Structure formats: structure tokens, C-alpha cells
Structure 1
Amino acid sequence: MKNEIRRSIIADYMIVTIGSLITALALDMFLIPNKVIAGGVSGLATIVYYLANFPVGVQMLIYNVVLFILAFILLGVRFGVKSIYSAVTLSIFVDFFNYVLKVPIPDLSSDKLLAPIYGGLIAGVGMGMVFWRGASTGGTDIIAMILNRFFGISSGMGLLYTDSLITLFAVLVLGPVPALYGILAIVVTGKVIDTFLEGVEHSRTLLIISEKVEDIKKRILEDLERGATLLPAKGAYTGRDRTLLMTAVKRRDLTRLRKHVLEIDPKAFVIILPNAEVYGEGFKELKG
């Protein structure tokens, strides 16, 4: 089990690193050089970059400090550590690609509308990978995750709300055109994030029989913030009355739940079933 946990952690950080790299490429190749103010600390950093020529990556680290503190307080230490790692790698990648590798910048002078579209698409994939592993690229991504955790607002929509405010502020500094392109990039990024997460976050149903079912239930309710159902059951071989715990979780929470069960009762009997779809609180909204 320790090896499984270690592999899960390594996978988390590998995917977060790749996601940060992809997001940095979107910024350096499409958004920053075309003055697309796509909200967030990167948008704010882009504004200051064009005003004072201050490196975007360094700025992003500075602006994230307060929001990292919020992540530690509201979203847990592990989330905060992964988010710090993601934001640091993103900031390093942004300045590394720009000042060291000098990545090629596509010439979009004939059709600048492509900059927010392609930049938003690529950034959405990168940020979706980071969100998938329970981290954030920092900045308003953290606010989006807080809105998702406490108010049920999707990560993409939370990002849309918060980043739009920063983009509107850009109107006062760089004029309406960069801000309008930025709003388009924000919409594209938000939609791609939600589409990406819906594609990878398939849910699972767990059936758990344990002598310590109450302790497991408490961990599900308090740590995973998921619901659970207790069903009366009877062992066919022993004839003993038991309690069957049933819960549905997103795939990203599955490893955490397995760790909790192992920690509480290593002898628990656990069945994990794939779900075609799950509707209700914490999952997709049931629509007619």
C-alpha cells in the first residue's frame, strides 16, 4: 500500500508539472506577446510587464503569497503544498521559456483573434491537468477552487467570475481591446477546464463492509465531504448482521478514500464499481 501511495504522489506531481509547463507555453506563445489579459495573477503580471518591463514569472510568485495562505487555511496543507509547487514551476517555466529558451512566437498579426482562442485552449488543458490532481496554478485558480469546495460552483465558472474582474480592470490600463481578447480567452479556458475535468473525473461507487464502519463514515463525511448510505446486510456464510456502507466519489478522491479505509480497518471488505453517470449534489446537476 505504501508503494501505491508513493506512486500516486509521484503521478500527482508529474501531471501537475506537465500541466504547468503547458500553461506556461500558452502564456509565452500566445497570451503575453499579444497583450491578452486573461485575468488572474498572470493577467495582472502582464499589465505590469508592459508598464514596467518587470518579469512576469517573478511577479506571479509575489502575487500568489497571500492566496497561498488562503489555500493552507481553507483547502488543507497538502493542497497548499501542491499548489505552491505548481505555481513555482509555472513561474519558472514562464520566465525560462521567455528569457532562456526564447520559444518561438507565432505571427498572428493578420488575425489576432487566434491568440486568445489558441492561448485559451492550451491554457485550459494545462490548468485542467493541474486541477485534476487537486492542485492549482495559483492566483485566482485558488479562489475558483475555494468557490468549488464551499459553494459548488464549477472550477471553470469560478475562474470565469474572478478573472473577469481583473480583465475589466485592464481596460483602464491597456485599453478595451486587450481586455476584450482577455475575456474571450477566459471563456475558452473555463470551458476547456470543465470539459477536461468531466472527461477524466469519472466517479466510482464503493461498497464497504467493516467492523469500524462508523469511523469510515465519519472520515468520508468530514475529510472527503461526500455523502454515504448505511444499508443493513447479512453475511451468507456467517449469518451475522452487518452494516454495508455505500458511497459515490470522484476518481480523484478514490486514492484518499482507500488510504482512509486501510488506516482505519485493514481487514475491511471493499468493492469498487465504475459508474456510467452520477447526478446530485457534488456531481452533475440532474436536468430534464
Structure 2
Amino acid sequence: MNLRTWKLAKRIGKFLGIALGAIIGAYSVQGFIVQAGLGGGGIGGIALLLFYTLGFPIGIVNFILNIPLFALGWKEVNRIFVAKTFFGIIVYSLALDFFKGIQPLQLNDVFLGALYGGVLGGVGSGIVFRLGGSLGGTDIIAKIIQRRFGWAMGTTMLMINALIILASWAILGPKIALYTLVSMFTFSKTVDVISSGLPAKSVTIISNQSDQLIQRILKELGRGVTFLHGQGGYSSAEKNIIICVVNIAELGHLKRIVKEEDPHSFIIVQTASEVVGEGFAVE
């Protein structure tokens, strides 16, 4: 397979992945959110409110209301993103009406509907985001804000959807509005995990046994390390500093290595919300 064919296959694969994410997102809405009578955020939330009050089809309304935001995305974001988003909106809108009336589970608990709908919807949108597209609505606005200010997309969507929650409160009642908020929070956190990966840990180790620690970290964890030279502020003695990034599952093992080699070492653990590189997320 030559390079040109490989790039074409990779591009087609991304569009198929976006279609899968859009279908999962639509399934979560019709299968759990609508069944539980919950609202939503952004354009999808407006489409749900119009469905509950006037009976308008969710998919068609979602597509029509996304047109102005799609035009905004065309001006503000690169055209590859716009093309992927337009494709995602079409698949998502069609799937929303295709899955109308589906009930994968007989839910008698609104909370479960909010939980399942939020997680599954977040998985679908997260897949689309990770492949460089979106499902329209506030996703486009969140993408623009992320590009300009670096804010997490899930958090941004949660903030700008506050007005839709207030509308749900007035139309659907306070109980449903609160459960909708639970669904949206679950959705946003799932999006962040899928699109950015689980938070890693950046560990700074100050130790007099740095050589032994480096050897064990490389051998037992297979993680690279950065070796720095420092100086103690009180003693003025030279200190060896190790910086290593590990995932959450590896953190306990790293701590055991440090404790075994140097019980008097000093460890600083910080959360790295996203790490791109060998052994971690690669865009």
C-alpha cells in the first residue's frame, strides 16, 4: 500500500469512526434520555423541549437549528473540522429519528436514565471529538473556545448549557431539570476522558539514590525519566531530581519503588490532564 492510499484509508476510517460516534450518541438520546423524559443541553436540549411540547421530530429540528452554528464553524475553524462536523451532524440527525421509540432497557428510575444516557452520549461525542469532528450544537462553540483559550470541551459545554437547564426547569419541572443536570455532568466528564484520555500523573522525585531509581523505573515500568540537577535551599547540598509521567494504575508501583530504594526521598505528585507522546495519547 503506497502512502497516498494509506492516507485515503486513514481518512475514510476517521469518517467511519465519526459515524459510529454519532450513532452511539443518537442511541443514547432515544434509548435513555427520551425514555426517562429528560432534557439536554445546547441545540439537542432545545430539540428535546420542542419534541416534548410540540411533538417535533428531534432529528430534523436538530439539523435545522445547527445550520447557523455550522456557518459559524465554517468561519472560525479549519475546513477539515467543518467537513467532519457536517458529516457528523447528518448521521446524528438521521440516527435520532431512526432510533425513535427504541427502549433497550425498561427504566423505572430516572436517575439510571440520566446516568446511562450521559455516559453513552459522552462516549459517542468523545469519539467524534477525538477524530477531529463534532456533533454540532454547543460542540462547535466549545471547539472554538478550546482552540482559542485551551479550556476543556466538556467543562465549556456544561457552562454554556446553563440557560437550557433553566428552560427545562420551567417546562419539565425542577426534578427533571436536576436529573438532566446529572446527565449533562456525566456526559461532560465522559467526553473529557474519551477525547483527552484519563489524567496521568507527573511525579517529581528528589532523592540521593537517583541512579537506582532510574534503573528500576525503566525496567519495571518502562517509562522514560528526565534527570535534573538541583540544590537544597537550606543545606546548599546538591540534589538529584527525577521527573516521570505515569498513568494512574502505575502510580502505586512507582511509589513502592521509591520507598524501597530511598525511604527519605521527597515525592511530588501532580495531575497531568493530558499527555501526548510515546506511551500516552497520540493525536
Q: What is the TM-score with the length of structure 2 in the denominator?
A: 0.68
- Which residue, 107, 122, 125 being the options, matches 2:123? 125
| Residue 201 (structure 1) shift | 11
For 1:7, the equivalent position in structure 2 comes to: 9
The residue aligned with 1:208 is none
Q: Which residue of 2 aligns with 1:43?
A: 45
| Pair 1:61 & 2:60 matched | no
- List structure 1 runs of 4+ shifted beyond 4 angstroms: none
Paired residue for 2:102?
103
Counterpart CA distance in 2 for 1:274 and 1:10 is 24
- Give yes or no for contact 1:18–1:126 (8 Å, CA) kept in 2: yes
Partner residue of 2:111 out of 88, 110, 113: 113
Partner SS state of residue 113, structure 1 = helix
In structure 2, the partner of 1:147 is 145
* Distance in 1 between residues matched to 2:102 and 2:279, nearest whole Å: 42
Taking every aligned residue pair, what percent have the same amino acid on both sides? 31
- The answer for unaligned runs of 5 or more in structure 1 is 203-272, 284-288
Write the distance in 1 (CA, Å) between the matches of 2:177 and 2:140.
22
User: For the Cα contact (< 8 Å) 1:23–1:127, is it kept in 2?
Assistant: yes
Change (3 A) 1:89 1:115: same
Deviations 1:245-281 (A, max 9, x none): xxxxxxxxxxxxxxxxxxxxxxxxxxxx943569xxx
Cα 1:78–1:277, aligned 2, differ >3 Å: closer, same or farther?
Answer: closer
The 8 Å contact of residues 35 and 113 in structure 2, kept in 1 or not, is answered as no
2:93 is aligned to 91
1-structure distance, mates of 2:174, 2:198: 36
From 196, 199, 202, give the equivalent of 2:197: 199
Number of the residue aligned with 1:275: 278
Matched AA of 1:20: A
CA contact (8 A) 1:83 1:138 kept: yes
* Cα distance in 2 between the residues matched to 1:35 and 1:132: 29
Given that residues 35 and 103 in structure 2 are in contact (C-alpha distance below 8 angstroms), is that contact kept between their aligned partners in structure 1? no
In structure 1, C-alpha distance between the alignment counterparts of 2:175 and 2:196, rounded to whole Å: 32
3-state SS of 2:197 partner: helix
Superposition CA RMSD, Å: 2.2
- Summarize the Cα distance change of 1:72–1:117 in structure 2 as closer, same or farther, 3 Å threshold: same
Q: What is residue 216 of structure 2 aligned with on the other side?
A: none
Give the number of equivalent residue pairs.
205
Per-residue CA deviations over 1:155-210 (Å, capped at 9, x if unaligned) read: 111111122321222212222122111111111011111111233999xxxxxxxx
Over 3 Å counting, the alpha-carbon distance change for 1:129 and 1:277 in structure 2 is: closer
Residue equivalent to 1:34? 36
Distance (Å, rounded) in 1 between the aligned partners of 2:143 and 2:277: 25
Residues 15 and 130, structure 1, Cα contact 8 Å, conserved in 2? yes
Q: Does structure 1 conserve the Cα–Cα contact (< 8 Å) formed by 2:57 and 2:97?
A: yes
> How far apart in 2 are the matches of 1:173 and 1:116?
18
Q: One-letter code of the match for 1:16?
A: I
Letter in 2 for 1:275: E
* Paired residues for 1:244-255 under 5 Å: none
1:214-225 correspondence to structure 2 within 5 Å: none
Residue 171 (structure 2) aligned to one of 173, 191, 196:
173
Cα deviation code 1:87-133 (max 9, x no counterpart): 110010010111xxx42252222x21101100000001000000001
1:163 corresponds to which residue? 161
